[in-house]
Structure 1
Amino acid sequence: MDQTTPVSSNAPTTNVVVDATDDVVLPFAIEGMSVRGRLARTGPVISDILGRHDYPPAVSRLVAETLLLASMLGTALKLEGRFTVQTSSDGPVDLLVADMTKDGGLRGYAHFDADAVAALSTETPTLEQLTGKGSMALTIDQGPGRNSYQGVVPLEGDSIAACGEDYFRRSEQLPTLIKLVVAQSFERDASGTADGGWRAGGIMIQQMPEDGGFVRDLDPGDAPDGSVAAEDAAEDENWNRAKILMETVEDHELVDPALASEQLLYRLYHEDGVRAFPPHPLSFSCRCSQDYIKGVLEGFGSEEMADMHTDDGRIEVRCEFCSSTYNFDPEEFKGS
C-alpha cells in the first residue's frame, strides 16, 4: 500500500487543522528533486515540557529550539534507541539537553546561571551571549549491548539551527537548511486569563545524493578546468530553488495552529510537487521513576548522599527533565 500522499490545495476544516498540525513531525519529499525534508509543529507538548520549569523566556526559547532540532533529526532513527542533542559550554547557559525516543517521546532541560542570564543587556540575547563557547553533540544510543554513535561540532553560528546545519556539513556532507521558530502564546480563556503557553515550529530540507543527486568526485573527463558537469549544475539549480522557496517561510506560519502542515508545504512547493509521508506524533515522555532513581542512588557513597538530605533527614532527588521529586528513607541504602 502506498504510504505517501501527494499534497493538494484542498484546505481541511479548522477543527481538523488544529488536531493534525500540533505535535507532529511530517516528513516530505519534493518531486523531481533529490531533496527531502521534515516539518515539525508543536504546541501542547512543548508547553508541557517548558511548563515544568521556571525558566526565563530566553532560556525557554533555547530549550524549545533544541527540542525541535532533536524531534526533526530523531524521527530519522531506523533502530530502537534514543537520539540526543546536548550542548556543553562556558556561558550563562552551560548545558542544554534534548532527547527523543523512536516512538516520539521528547524531554529536555537546561542548566544555567540565573543571575548571569538576568544580567544580559537584552531581552533577546544571541546564542553566543547565552551559551558562550562550547560544543554540540548529537548522539544515537541504540540501547544496551549495542554501539552508540556521536558527532560533535563547535557551538558556533547565530542559532541552534545553524549548529545543526554545521553538523551535517562537517559530518554527513549533506547540504542542509534548517529554520526553527519559537513563540510564546498569550491566548486567553473565558475568564480572560492568559495561558502563557508556547508554540514551536521548524522545517529542514536536505539534498540527498543517494536519491540520484550529484557526486563531486567524478572524473571531469575533457571538461575545461573550473567547469561544472551538466548534471551537477542541474542538481545545484534544484537545491538552490528548494532553498530559496524554503526561505520564504515566515515565522508566524511555522507556529500558526490554524495552518495545516500540508497547506504550508503546498504553498512552498506546489509548482514542483511535494509528497508527504506518514507523520510522526510527538509526546512528552520522561523515563524517571522511583525504582530507577533508587537504582542510581545505590551507586552513590554515603558522603555523596549526605548532600541530598532534607531537613527532616530524608533523601530528596529532583528529576532535571520533568521536575518530579522523589523521597527516600536513608535506611533503604544501609549496607549498599
Structure 2
Amino acid sequence: MTLGSQIAWDDTVLPFTLDASDIRGRVARLDGVLDAVLKQHDYPPVIEALVAEMALLTALIGQTMKLEWKLSLQVRSSGAARLIATDYYGPTEDGEPARMRAYAGYDADLLDAGADPFSQVGDGYFAILIDQGSGMAPYQGITPLTGSSLSACAETYFAQSEQIPTRFSLSFGLNQNAGQGARWRAGGVMLQHMPKASPFASGEGGSGEGGLLAAEDILTDDEGENWRRANLLLDTVDDLELIGPSVAPTDLLVRLFHEEAPRVYDAQPITFGCTCSADRVRQSLSIYSAKDIGTMTTDEGIVTADCQFCGAHYEFQPDTLGFEAEKTDGDA
C-alpha cells in the first residue's frame, strides 16, 4: 500500500454488508482524530486506553447517524475511571466529515497505572443517547456494565436494549513510526445481524451475565448458524490487520469474509470537532439567578468556564449571565 492510500483510510469508517449471511458491519481506522482527542488532555496511559476504546466504539456505532444527528456514549462507574463520555456529530452536509470528541473523569488516588484498563471501571452503567434534532425527543438506552471490556459492554447493550446481535473486534495502542513521536492508533470491525421486524421478547432472563440477553438468545437456529460462522471468521483477524498500514479495509474484508459476499459502501471520514462556544455556555447558565451567578464569580470579578472536551477557556462578566442578565456585551 502506498502512503497516499494509507492516509486515505485513516480516520474513516467503511460500512459493509455480508449478503450471504444477512449481516452488516463497519471497519474503522482512527489515527489523527484519536491523537487530536487525546492531546486535549494529559491522561495517564491507562485512562488513554479506555478513551481510545470508547472513541473507536463511538466511530463504529455513530456511522449510522443521519445528517446533523448526535450520538453520545457514556460509561459511569464506581471505579477509578468515573466517567468516559464521547460525542459523535453526524455530517452537516453529504460528503462532509463527521465530528467526534471525548472526555474522561477519574480518581487519581484510586487509579492503578499498571493494571488492565477495564479493571479501573467498577460497577455502573453503559448508555447510548441519540439527539435527533429540533422537535424530536432524544432517545436514551442504559444497560449495566458487564464483561471484561468496554466493547463487551456495548455488545450487551445492543443485545439487551436493541435486541440486535452485535460483535466488536478492536485493537488500539501507542504507535511509533520512524522519525515521529508515539501516537495512539486504533482500528476495529463491528458486525451486526440485520434487525428483525418483530423484536425478541421473553419474560425469562437471558444467558448473559446477570441474566441479560446475549446474541444466542435472540437468533433463530438458521440465523444463529450464519452469525456463528461470521464470528468464527472474525476471530481470525490479528492486530496488524486492524491498525497496521499495510492492509486496506477492503482487502481485510475480502480476506475475512470472501465466502460471505461482502459488499462495501461509501466510507465516512471523521475529524476531531467540539461544539462548545461562548453562546452555549451563556445558554447553559441562563437558568441561574443573579444570586447563583454571584457564587460562581471569582475574586477577579468574572465567571469562568472551561470545556472538558477541548480545553477552551471562557470568561464572562457576571451581570451578563443568568435569567436576570443585563442586555449588554461584556464578555472578556
Aligning the two structures, in what range does the TM-score lie when normalised by the shorter sequence? 0.7 to 0.9
Aligned partner (choices 93, 97, 111) of residue 81 of structure 2: 93
2-structure distance, mates of 1:96, 1:283: 19
**Distance of aligned partners of 1:274 and 1:60 in 2 relative to their CA distance in 1, 3 Å threshold:** same
1:205 aligns with 2:205: no
TM-score normalised by the chain length of structure 1: 0.82
1:132 aligns with 2:118: no
Equivalent residue, structure 2, for 1:299: 287
Superposition map of 1:175-254 within 5 A: 175-189=165-179, 194-208=180-194, 210=196, 232-254=220-242
Q: CA contact under 8 A between 2:125 and 2:142: conserved in structure 1?
A: yes
Amino acid at match of 2:151: A
Higher normalized contact order (CA 8 Å, seq sep 6+, divided by chain length): 1
Residue 116 of structure 1 aligns to a residue whose secondary structure is: coil
Q: How many residues align?
A: 302
TM-score normalised by the chain length of structure 2: 0.83
Aligned partner (choices 146, 152, 160) of residue 156 of structure 1: 146
Superposition map of 1:41-52 within 5 A: 41-52=29-40
**Distance of aligned partners of 1:216 and 1:294 in 2 relative to their CA distance in 1, 3 Å threshold:** closer
Q: CA deviation at 1:163?
A: 0.7
2-structure distance, mates of 1:170, 1:216: 10
Unaligned runs of 5+ in 1: 1-12, 218-230
Q: CA contact under 8 A between 1:94 and 1:111: conserved in structure 2?
A: yes
Q: CA deviation at 1:310?
A: 4.7
Greater CA drift, 158-167 or 237-246: 237-246
**Distance of aligned partners of 1:232 and 1:110 in 2 relative to their CA distance in 1, 3 Å threshold:** closer
1:259 aligns with 2:247: yes
Unaligned runs of 5+ in 2: 92-97, 203-218, 326-332
Give aligned-pair identity as a percent.
38
Which has the larger Rg?
A: 1
Q: CA deviation at 1:268?
A: 0.7
Q: CA deviation at 1:81?
A: 1.8
Q: CA deviation at 1:188?
A: 4.5
1-structure distance, mates of 2:38, 2:20: 40
1:284 aligns with 2:291: no
Superposition map of 1:162-173 within 5 A: 162-173=152-163
2-structure distance, mates of 1:144, 1:130: 37
Q: CA contact under 8 A between 1:308 and 1:317: conserved in structure 2?
A: no
**Distance of aligned partners of 1:215 and 1:52 in 2 relative to their CA distance in 1, 3 Å threshold:** closer
Deviations 1:102-139 (A, max 9, x none): 1121011011112221xx2x624242x31210001111
Equivalent residue, structure 2, for 1:113: 107
Amino acid at match of 2:10: D
Equivalent residue, structure 2, for 1:319: 307
Residue 260 of structure 2 aligns to a residue whose secondary structure is: coil
Equivalent residue, structure 1, for 2:260: 272
**Distance of aligned partners of 1:186 and 1:308 in 2 relative to their CA distance in 1, 3 Å threshold:** farther
1-structure distance, mates of 2:123, 2:201: 33
1-structure distance, mates of 2:292, 2:78: 25
Greater CA drift, 276-285 or 175-184: 175-184
Amino acid at match of 1:272: E
Equivalent residue, structure 1, for 2:51: 63
Cα-Cα RMSD: 2.6
Q: CA deviation at 1:328?
A: 2.0
Q: CA deviation at 1:313?
A: 3.4
2-structure distance, mates of 1:166, 1:82: 22
1-structure distance, mates of 2:290, 2:102: 29
Q: CA contact under 8 A between 1:30 and 1:269: conserved in structure 2?
A: yes
Deviations 1:25-74 (A, max 9, x none): 11111131111111111100000011100011111111121111111111
1-structure distance, mates of 2:78, 2:299: 33
**Distance of aligned partners of 1:303 and 1:114 in 2 relative to their CA distance in 1, 3 Å threshold:** farther
Residue 241 of structure 2 aligns to a residue whose secondary structure is: helix
Amino acid at match of 2:315: N
